[in-house]
Structure 1
Amino acid sequence: MSRLIHALAALAVLGLAAGCTSAPDIDEASVAGAASGKADLAPASPFWVDPESPAAQQIETWQEEGRTRDAELLRRIADRPAALWPAGENDPTVPVTEAATAARREGRTALFAAYNIPHRDCGQHSAGGAADADAYRTWIEKFAAALGKAKALVVLEPDAVAHIVDGCTPGIHHGEREALLGEAIDRLKRQPGTKVYLDAGNPAWIRDPQKLGQLVQRLYRAGIARADGFALNVSNFQTDEVTKEYGLRLSADLGGKHFVIDTSRNGNGPLPGEWCNPPDRALGTPPTFDTGEPALDAYVWVKRPGESDGTCEGGPNAGQWWPEYALELARNAKE
């Protein structure tokens, strides 16, 4: 039995309950929870919460170091669900299976980001991806199979379509990429509990009406009609209001397709001119299916708060845990 399953079993025996608070004051129950060194599992959340997330582990470390106040603030991240991004260079079977199994046991939905398309990120901080089309097909097959019958929400390939539209991805790769995305949608949708949202960038990226029309065309070519919808604002900071308005416009152009919004770090909105580890940002709306908008299926945390965008503003490599940045996001959170 994996460490993950052991942890879940232990927490179930202990009967830990959620203690996430939006107020700056710390009550006795919250302090007791932080002192335990374990993140709560947010029973009210419809999404599965990883009890071994970097934030949960950081709480333990800071408690041992006497940073009780900081540990408690970090529970605003550790107690809430964020997407799992299986490493592209590795077989995704084990982490996806463990998360899906744990989520199914609890009757919750597991969140994932599938991020391994060839020629990913155009040579920027997260450059890489599968070596070629066949390697990607193998990877997505393993990813999908590992989901089993669990309820899962998969955000498919952040930036992949938008990078075609903005010209970042060379034209020689466009046809292959669209074909691979369509195949990935079809394979993932064979899993009975899986919903797939193809990434469509963010409102600050593709704004020109002509480019927006191209985005719609490219999304269709990539199989959006067979997906459950599209995802917006992944790893970005655009506000809920701006992103929802953009999403509704895009939805209308896509025949009413639904969408989800990444709210992991948009609590203070964007910092003009800065997308990589901008300072003074905040956690956004906690993950929920309760959005008040029929076409907006969920607010989700796709980017894991506290993981670096890249080596900018003093951050570590993209995807690596940065505890002080996580603490700033939590400290600035409005709820």
Structure 2
Amino acid sequence: MKFTLGLAACAAVVVATPTKTVEKRDASQANAACASAVTLAAGSNPFSGRTLHANSAYASEIAAAMQSVTDTSILAQASKVAQTGSFLWIDTIARVPLVAQMMTETPCTDIMGLVIYDLPGRDCAAKASNGELKTGELAKYKSDYIDPIAAAIKAAPNVAVALIIEPDSLPNLVTNANLTTCSSSKSDYESGVAYALKTLNFPNVAMYIDAGHGGWLGWDANLKPGAAEITKVYTAAGSPKQVFGFSTNVAGWNAFSLSPGEFSTASDAKYNKCQDEKTYIDTFSPLIKSGGMPAHAIMDTGRNAVQGLRAAWGDWCNVNGAGFGVRPTSSTGDSLVDAFVWVKPGGESDGTSDTTADRYDSFCGHDDAFKPAPQAGQWNEAYFEMLLKNAKPAFS
């Protein structure tokens, strides 16, 4: 799904006006926390009354890319993207220090979004976004990754934080158990996610365990096993009260509400009624709740503006023709959906289209994948400009 960027891309800057100058963040704007400790009450919507923070790391990445752009329209639109709230991926141990930096820049009006994403044997069913830790390195995941993240959050109790916990991990155990890479990762995945949930359970934190999307766990045969896997790990963690539910469509392409569904005419459509994420969430949530876990959801709308682009549900890599979707908001029209959020940073590649590369995944070579594309996590300016062009609502 995603791989790391260099720390040099994470200076505290924002994209400026179309003059192409880059300005430092104003100290008053970065006046971090509230005057008192934040408590995100169980059962509440942690995004209500708060703005998803537009983190400086993504803004800096956009600013660096815009230095070679001369089109004033693109510059203006890019500036607005940089000012839109998005989650920051903590996908390597080297990026853990960014957590403390993010705490200092998040104002009281905002909620900081972080993706916890560095399990041993990460993304066991894909090649493009395999992680730095090998299967069996659970102790290192705990001590060098989760523990320092917890320390940084604990040191900033006046900052509201939303965490997405390990995208793709538990869904892979449900549907890809036949792969040796996934079956051998099962113990580390379950123990690692449980440890993260237990250790990051602070009053100012709202956690969402990743549940794939409707085209993954939404199949009739996957719904109950998927819910059982997630609630099993939640229970193993001691049922932490700061778990608010699950995340869907992370780095994905599915529509929230679409009738008929994108793949409703497929020959196997009768086996999956979850043709959009609203149906998936409304169907999956009761199963999660019956397992004793809070069952609200957040959905990634970062790149899902255009539908009908994929040849199959499972085509996940750099989908051609995509556009930035609905901006982050807690006004979702569904009482089970706490917020639409931007999770995958638009412009960062999902994986390389270079068939000779070590990390090449065949999905990045499919006919519906954008080409050329660099390694996962690296910037693809042409793709970013396509996302701008196809954005709904448009960036004016």
TM-score, with length taken from structure 2: 0.71
Alignment correspondent of 2:372? 314
Matched, 1:261 2:299: yes
Alignment correspondent of 1:26? none
Q: Which moved more, 1:230-239 or 1:119-128?
A: 119-128
Residue by residue over 1:53-86, the C-alpha shift from the partner in whole angstroms, topping out at 9 and shown as x without a partner, is 3123333x14xx5321221232342121111112
Instruction: Call closer, same or farther: CA 1:91–1:267 in 2, change over 3 Å.
Output: closer
Question: Residues of 2 paired with 1:203 and 1:47: CA distance?
Answer: 24
CA contact (8 A) 1:76 1:330 kept: no
1:7 Cα offset (Å): 4.6
Alignment correspondent of 1:157? 166
1:220 Cα offset (Å): 1.0
Instruction: Call closer, same or farther: CA 1:50–1:244 in 2, change over 3 Å.
Output: same
Q: Which structure's relative contact order is higher, taking Cα pairs within 8 Å and 6+ residues apart?
A: 2
Question: Residues of 1 paired with 2:324 and 2:9: CA distance?
Answer: 28
Matched, 1:68 2:72: yes
Amino acid at match of 1:272: A
1:6 Cα offset (Å): 6.5
1:158 Cα offset (Å): 0.4
Matched, 1:183 2:195: yes
Question: Residues of 2 paired with 1:322 and 1:45: CA distance?
Answer: 31
Residue by residue over 1:29-62, the C-alpha shift from the partner in whole angstroms, topping out at 9 and shown as x without a partner, is xxx9322635899x99712112443123333x14
* 1:57 match: secondary structure: helix
* 1:326 match: secondary structure: helix
Matched, 1:117 2:124: no
Residue by residue over 1:157-190, the C-alpha shift from the partner in whole angstroms, topping out at 9 and shown as x without a partner, is 000011101124532432332122111111111x
1:192 Cα offset (Å): 2.3
Amino acid at match of 2:343: V
Residue by residue over 1:278-316, the C-alpha shift from the partner in whole angstroms, topping out at 9 and shown as x without a partner, is 111111110112222221011111101111000022111
Matched, 1:238 2:296: no
Amino acid at match of 2:139: D
Alignment correspondent of 2:268? none
* Structure 2: unaligned runs, 5 residues or longer: 1-7, 30-48, 258-275, 354-370
Matched, 1:134 2:173: no
CA contact (8 A) 1:198 1:229 kept: yes
Instruction: Call closer, same or farther: CA 1:5–1:265 in 2, change over 3 Å.
Output: closer
Question: Residues of 1 paired with 2:53 and 2:18: CA distance?
Answer: 20
Matched, 1:143 2:149: yes
Question: Residues of 1 paired with 2:23 and 2:76: CA distance?
Answer: 10
Question: Residues of 2 paired with 1:155 and 1:34: CA distance?
Answer: 33
Question: Residues of 2 paired with 1:68 and 1:39: CA distance?
Answer: 17
Amino acid at match of 2:123: D
Q: Stretches of 4+ moved more than 3 A in 1?
A: 2-8, 36-41
Amino acid at match of 2:386: E
Instruction: Call closer, same or farther: CA 1:53–1:45 in 2, change over 3 Å.
Output: farther
Question: Residues of 1 paired with 2:331 and 2:79: CA distance?
Answer: 22
Aligned residues with identical type, % of pairs:
26
CA contact (8 A) 2:86 2:343 kept: yes
Instruction: Call closer, same or farther: CA 1:38–1:298 in 2, change over 3 Å.
Output: farther
Please give the residue correspondences for 1:263-302 in structure 2 after superposition, counting only pairs within 5 Å: 263-269=301-307, 270-273=309-312, 274-302=315-343
Question: Residues of 2 paired with 1:203 and 1:272: CA distance?
Answer: 16
Residue by residue over 1:252-279, the C-alpha shift from the partner in whole angstroms, topping out at 9 and shown as x without a partner, is 1111610100000000035223321111
Residue by residue over 1:86-125, the C-alpha shift from the partner in whole angstroms, topping out at 9 and shown as x without a partner, is 2414250x2111112211x353111111110111112510
Question: Residues of 2 paired with 1:3 and 1:121: CA distance?
Answer: 24
CA contact (8 A) 2:373 2:380 kept: yes
Question: Residues of 2 paired with 1:236 and 1:3: CA distance?
Answer: 24
TM-score, with length taken from structure 1: 0.83
Question: Residues of 2 paired with 1:277 and 1:57: CA distance?
Answer: 21
CA contact (8 A) 2:51 2:85 kept: no
Question: Residues of 2 paired with 1:39 and 1:279: CA distance?
Answer: 33
Question: Residues of 2 paired with 1:86 and 1:245: CA distance?
Answer: 30
Instruction: Call closer, same or farther: CA 1:172–1:279 in 2, change over 3 Å.
Output: closer
CA contact (8 A) 1:89 1:130 kept: no
Alignment correspondent of 1:16? none
1:214 Cα offset (Å): 0.8
Instruction: Call closer, same or farther: CA 1:218–1:260 in 2, change over 3 Å.
Output: same
1:166 aligned to which of 175, 193, 201: 175
CA contact (8 A) 1:91 1:142 kept: no
Question: Residues of 2 paired with 1:325 and 1:206: CA distance?
Answer: 28
Matched, 1:198 2:204: no
* Structure 1: unaligned runs, 5 residues or longer: 12-31
Alignment correspondent of 1:84? 88
RMSD (CA atoms):
2.7
Alignment correspondent of 1:252? 286
Question: Residues of 2 paired with 1:127 and 1:3: CA distance?
Answer: 21
* 2:88 match: secondary structure: coil
